[in-house]
Amino acid sequence: MTDFLGPAVRIRRRTALVLTTAVVAGLAMFCWPLLSSSPGTAAHTTDAPFVFMVTLPVLILIVLAELSSGGLDAKALALLGVLAGVDAALRPLGAGTGGIELVFFLLVLAGRVFGPGFGFVLGSTSLFASALLTGGVGPWLPFQMLASSLLAMGAGLLPGRVKGRWEIAMLAAYGVVAAYFYGLAMSMFTWPFLAGTTELGFVPGGSLGENLHRFLVFTVLTSTLGWDTGRALTNLVAILVLGPAVLTVLRRAARRAAFGSRV
């Protein structure tokens, strides 16, 4: 018997199109300061973040609705609830201290086992549930949900033929990359607000090179060297130590649920 019978959430052609559109639009919402390189966009630098804060939740809901209609059956829904609950319970353990966050390694492993569609849904629901549990609801939450969905979805797109120790090594390396990706994405969201008018702040209408240089220095000093590195090390250690056992449990659940099998 194979380890993995099929994705927990089937992605049809229309679903893939909606998902791709949402990913591109979501990344554009993260990177809007770097995309606003013309002087004419300077007048919208105040209202743009608030427009995106309203638009992004709608975008996520559209994708979740499309994924649900494409094959989120009772078995997948039950498994989603269990994993989202476990992930939400893991978040307060580290409380983000020094970047020690246990949320993301489980997203990587679950995305690997159950596929990119399930990973996207789990990323959003886990961060939403954990925010309710820890009181972390705010304008940043939709951006955290999308970033988590993208990293969990990416784990489901990794080469499927890699097995054994090589698979653990691949997932551990991906966990490190995903940690820095999440940090960069959230730094891009907070940069126009936190940096303000300082020397590292966003320059409305500035050139791409100028704003990119300011952002990279800002994120290295405020996030990459501290929180992101702590998050990356946490993912690395958790996947290397707990990865084999957790993958075995998740794949056993996938076999028993028989996702993708004919009724």
**pLDDT, tens digit, for every residue of 237-255?**
999 999 999 999 999 988 8
Which residue, among 82, 97, 111, has the nearest Cα to 8 in the 3D structure? 111
If you average pLDDT over residues 103-120, what whole number do you get?
90
What CATH number does the domain located at 13-257 have?
1.10.1760.20
Look at residue 171 in the predicted model and tell me its pLDDT: 96
Q: Is the predicted pLDDT of residue 93 greater than 80, yes or no?
A: no
Q: What does pTM read for this prediction? A: 0.84
**Where does the pLDDT of residue 159 fall: very low under 50, low under 70, confident under 90, or very high at 90 and above?**
very high
242 burial (CB, 10 Å; 0-12 / 13-18 / 19+) is: middle
DSSP codes joined into one string, 189-256: HHHHHHTTTSTTS--TT--HHHHHHHHHHHHIIIIIIIIIHHHHHHHHHHHHHHHHHHHHHHHHHHHH
> CB of 130 within 8 A of CB of 103?
yes
Percent of the chain surpassing pLDDT 90: 27
Question: In terms of pLDDT, which residue wins out, 141 or 247?
Answer: 247
Amino acid at 155: A
Domain residue limits, the chain: 13-257
Average per-residue pLDDT for the chain:
81
pLDDT greater at residue 72 or residue 263: 72
Task: Identify the CA nearest to 143 among candidates 127, 160, 130.
Answer: 127
Q: What is the DSSP letter of 56?
A: H
Q: How many residues does the chain have?
A: 263
DSSP state at residue 40: G
